Structure 1
Amino acid sequence: MNQKQSAISSLDFTGFEKTHTLRSIFQVAVNLGLPLAVWRAPHQKEVNLMVSFSSAQEVERPDLETCEKGFIFSPFNPKSSATLFIKSDFHVSFDFDEVIQHEDLTSEENVLQAKFFIQLKEQLKKPEEKLNYHVKDQEKKGADIDYKDLVQLGIDAIKNNEFLKVVPARSKVISLNDGFDLITKYLQLCDAYANAFVSIVSMPETGTWLGATPELLLEVNHSQFKTVALAGTQRRDIAKSISDTAWTQKEIEEQALVSRYIINCFKKIRLREYEEKGPKTIIAGNLLHLKTEFEVNMKETNFPELGTVMLELLHPTSAIAGMPKEAALNFIQQHEGFDRSFYSGYLGPVQNEQKTSIFVNLRCMELLENSAILYAGAGVTVDSVAEKEFEETEMKFNTLLNILNSQS
C-alpha cells in the first residue's frame, strides 16, 4: 500500500462533529505553516477547505486552462506583490450532512504530508481550543488624506476631464473581541450572505483574509465563460420589494461604465458573440447593487483560452479602479495613501471539477493578532457627493461588522 492509499484509508471523520473537523484541519495546517483556503460558493451550502503541503507558488501570468487544481489569490496591483497559487494537495468538502475527502494527495513522499495526517488524527481527538491563523508581521500605514477630501479630489479630476470614474478606497482598523473565533464568524457569514462568495485565505506569505464578496470576476465552466458588471450601491430596505428599487442617474451611469468596460475588453480581442443580461437589482447582504451578466460559449466562438485572456484584460476592473483604467490607477496610486494589498484583488478555486470561479476580493478584512483591517471603496463620478460616498463605504464595512459585533 503506497503512502497515498495509506493516508486516505487511515483518516476517518466519522463520529466527529463537522465544525470540529473543519477547525481541526485548519489548525493543523496553520501549526505546520501550510497555506490553505476555505470557501463557500454563492447559493451553495457546501464549504470547501483546501491545503497545500508546500509553500504557495508565485504565478506571473495565471494560465487558467493548463494550471492544476488549486486556489488563486492575487493582489489589487500584481506589480506590487505576486499572485499566489495554493496547490490542492488535500481537499475536503463539508455539506454538514457528511464530509467528502477529495483524493488530491500526491503519491510522492512528503514529510509535511505525513506530519499533517499524524497531527490531524491527534487534533480531532482534542477538545475545542482557541483557533490560530497565519498573521503577517508587518506595520500597516494608514492614509494621509481624509476620505471625503480624497473623493472631492476625484470629482475635481473628473470635472477636469482626467477620467470618467475613479474608485478610491479607505481602510479601518478595529479591535477583535477576546472571544473572537474565526471559524464561528466564518460560518455566520455563510448563513448571513447566501448570495456571496464567503472565504478565508490563510498563509504565511499573506496572513489571513476573511471576506464575503458579491462580485464575480469571471467563471469558466467547461465551455461556458461568464463575467459580470456590478456597480451602484444603496442600503437594502427589507420592507420593500427589490422590484420597487429606484436608482439615481449617478448609480445607473456608474454601472453602465463597468458594462462598457467589459464590452471594450471583448472588442480588443474581436469577440462579438456574447449574451448580455441586465442590468437588474440584486441583493448583497445589507446592500443592493445593479448587475449585468455577460456569457460566451467558448466552443462556438472557438476561443478555449478566453478565461486566461479575459482575466488579464479585466483586472483591475473599472468597478474597483475606474475608467479609463490607467488614468484612474495613476490617481489612486498618487492620492489614496495606503497599500490595498489583497483588497480588490481576486481569489477563487481553479480547475475544481473542470470549473474555475474567480471573485473580486471585496467586503473583506485582514486579520492581525488582536485586530483587523477592513477595506471598502466607492465609485466616484461627476455626480458624486463626498459625504454620500463616505456613507457608502460605512455601509460596506457593515457587511463584516454586523457579524463581528454579534454576540453569538
Structure 2
Amino acid sequence: MKEREEVELLNFDVKHFTKEALISAAIQSAFDLGLPVAVWRLPNQNEINLIVSFTALQQLQRVEFPTLPKGFLIAPFENDKKGNQFIKADFHLSFDFDEVIEGSDISSDETATGKAFKTQLIERLSNPIEKPEYFSLEKAVDTSVDYKALVQKSIDYIKSGVFEKVVPARAAQFQLPQHFDPVSLFMNICQEYTNAFAYFVSTPEIGTWMGATPELLLSKQQNIFKTVALAGTKRFDTETPIEETAWLQKEIEEQALVSRYIISCFKKIRLREFEERGPRTSKAGNLLHLKTTYEVDVEATNFPELPTVMLELLHPTSAVAGMPKTETLQFLSEYEGLDRAYYSGFLGPVNLDEQTNIFVNLRCMQVDKHTTTLYAGAGVTEDSVPEKEYLETEMKFNTLRNLIYPAS
C-alpha cells in the first residue's frame, strides 16, 4: 500500500497532521535547503498537490511534454528572454480537503539532499512553526505608468489600423500584513475560487508567486487535448442568473478575436478535426467571462505532439498580448513600461496522474518579504473606454487583494 510505504519512508505518521501543517512544514523545509516547491489545486477539484525538487530549477529550451518527468512547469510572458522553468517532482504529496492522505509518491532518491529534506520535514512537523518562510527577490516594480493614457494610446493605434486588439497590463504594489501567512492565503484561495487554478510556487531563482487563474491554456488527459478562448470581463451579479448574462458588442468581439486566433493556429498545422463548444458565460470568482472550449483527440488525428506544438503557437495568446501578435508585442514592449515577469506567462502540473494541465498565469501576484505586487490587464478594442478598462484591472486585482486585506 502506498500509504504504508509513505509512512515507512518518512518514518513518521503524517496522518496526525492537518493539511496546513504538512504544507507549511514542506515549504519551510524546502526554504531551509534552498529547494524549489510548488503547491496547487486544479479547478473544481478538492485534491491538493505538493511537490519539492531535490535539485535546482531545470531550464527547458523546448517543452517536450511526452518526455518530461512528473513535475511543475512555469514560464514568463517574454519566454524568449527567460525560458521555461521546470520543477521536478522528487517529493510528492497529495491529499484532499477532508484530511485523508491519498497515495504519496515519495522518491526513493537516497542522495544527501533527499535525505536532508525528509529529515528536515520530520523536524518541522515535530516542532510546528507559525508560518513558513519563502523565497523573495525583493524586486522593484515600476507602477508609475498612466494606465488610462496607455489605454487611450492603444485605442488610437487600433483606429489607425496597426492592430485589432491589444492587452496592456499594469501592476500595483502593497505592503503585506504583518502576520501574512502564504499557506493561509493559499487555502483561502482554494475555498473562495473553486473554479480557478490555485497555486503557490517558491524557488530561489524566481522568488514566490501565487494566484487563482481562470484560464486554461492547454490540457491533455488520456488522448484528449483541450484549449480555451477566454475573454471579456464583467462583475458577477448575484441577482442575475449566469445564463441570462448580457454581453456588450465590445466584449463579444474581444472574445471572438481569441477564438479566431486559436482556429488560426489549428489551420497553421492543418488540423481540421476539432470540437468547438461555446461561447458560454463562465464564472471565475467575482468575475464573469466568455469562454469557448476546443477539444482534439490526438490519437484519432495521429498527432501525439499536438500539446507541444500548440504551446509554442498559442503563447502568448491574444487574450494577454493582442492580435496580430507581432505588432501588439512590439507596442507593449515600447509603451507598457512593465516587466511582467511570470504574469501572463503559463504554468501548471505536467504528467501527474497521466494528466498535464497548463494555465495562463492571470489573477496572480509576486510575493516578497514585506510587499506584494499584483498584476492585471484589460483587452482593448476600438470601442474601449479608458476609465472602464482601468476599473476592470481594479476588479481583477481584487481577486487576491480582497483575501489579503479582508474588509473589517
Interval containing the TM-score (normalised by the shorter chain): over 0.9
* CA positional deviation for 1:141: 3.5
SS at match of 2:82: coil
CA distance in 2, matches of 1:202, 1:22: 13
Residue of structure 2 in register with 1:370 after alignment:
370
Residue of structure 1 in register with 2:196 after alignment:
196
Residue of structure 2 in register with 1:52 after alignment:
53
CA distance in 1, matches of 2:93, 2:38: 11
1:133 aligned partner, one-letter code: Y
CA distance in 2, matches of 1:75, 1:181: 25
CA distance in 2, matches of 1:54, 1:6: 23
Query: Within 5 A, what are the aligned runs for 1:133-152?
Result: 133-138=134-139, 140-152=140-152
Residue of structure 1 in register with 2:180 after alignment:
180
Deviates more, 1:129-138 or 1:196-205: 129-138
CA distance in 1, matches of 2:372, 2:13: 35
Alignment coverage as a number of residue pairs: 403
Deviates more, 1:222-231 or 1:9-18: 9-18
Would you identify which runs of 4 or more consecutive aligned residues in structure 1 move more than 3 Å? 4-7
CA distance in 2, matches of 1:155, 1:101: 53
* CA positional deviation for 1:98: 1.4
CA distance in 2, matches of 1:101, 1:13: 12
1:33 aligns with 2:34: yes
* CA positional deviation for 1:103: 2.4
* CA positional deviation for 1:11: 3.6
For the Cα contact (< 8 Å) 2:6–2:106, is it kept in 1?
Answer: no
For the Cα contact (< 8 Å) 1:231–1:290, is it kept in 2?
Answer: yes
For the Cα contact (< 8 Å) 1:65–1:307, is it kept in 2?
Answer: no
Give the structure-2-normalised TM-score: 0.96
* CA positional deviation for 1:106: 4.0
Deviations 1:147-200 (A, max 9, x none): 000001100000010000000000000111111111011101100000000000
For the Cα contact (< 8 Å) 1:215–1:228, is it kept in 2?
Answer: yes
Deviations 1:227-259 (A, max 9, x none): 000000001111211112110000000000000
Residue of structure 1 in register with 2:271 after alignment:
271
CA distance in 1, matches of 2:341, 2:58: 17
Residue of structure 2 in register with 1:383 after alignment:
383
* CA positional deviation for 1:130: 3.0
* CA positional deviation for 1:110: 1.3
Unpaired runs of 5+ residues, structure 2, are none
Query: Within 5 A, what are the aligned runs for 1:195-234?
Result: 195-234=195-234
- CA-based RMSD: 1.5
SS at match of 1:99: coil
Residue of structure 1 in register with 2:105 after alignment:
103
Residue of structure 1 in register with 2:87 after alignment:
86
For the Cα contact (< 8 Å) 1:11–1:117, is it kept in 2?
Answer: no
For the Cα contact (< 8 Å) 1:346–1:358, is it kept in 2?
Answer: yes
The percent of aligned pairs where both chains have the same amino acid is 53
Residue of structure 1 in register with 2:125 after alignment:
124
For the Cα contact (< 8 Å) 2:138–2:369, is it kept in 1?
Answer: no
Residue of structure 1 in register with 2:67 after alignment:
66
CA distance in 2, matches of 1:202, 1:41: 18
* CA positional deviation for 1:7: 6.6
CA distance in 2, matches of 1:286, 1:399: 7
SS at match of 1:62: coil
1:285 aligned partner, one-letter code: G
Residue of structure 2 in register with 1:12 after alignment:
13
* CA positional deviation for 1:65: 1.4
* CA positional deviation for 1:31: 1.1
* CA positional deviation for 1:143: 4.6
1:327 aligned partner, one-letter code: E
1:242 aligned partner, one-letter code: I
CA distance in 1, matches of 2:271, 2:206: 36
CA distance in 2, matches of 1:141, 1:17: 36
Unpaired runs of 5+ residues, structure 1, are none
Deviations 1:336-376 (A, max 9, x none): 00100000000000001111000000000000111100000
SS at match of 2:280: strand
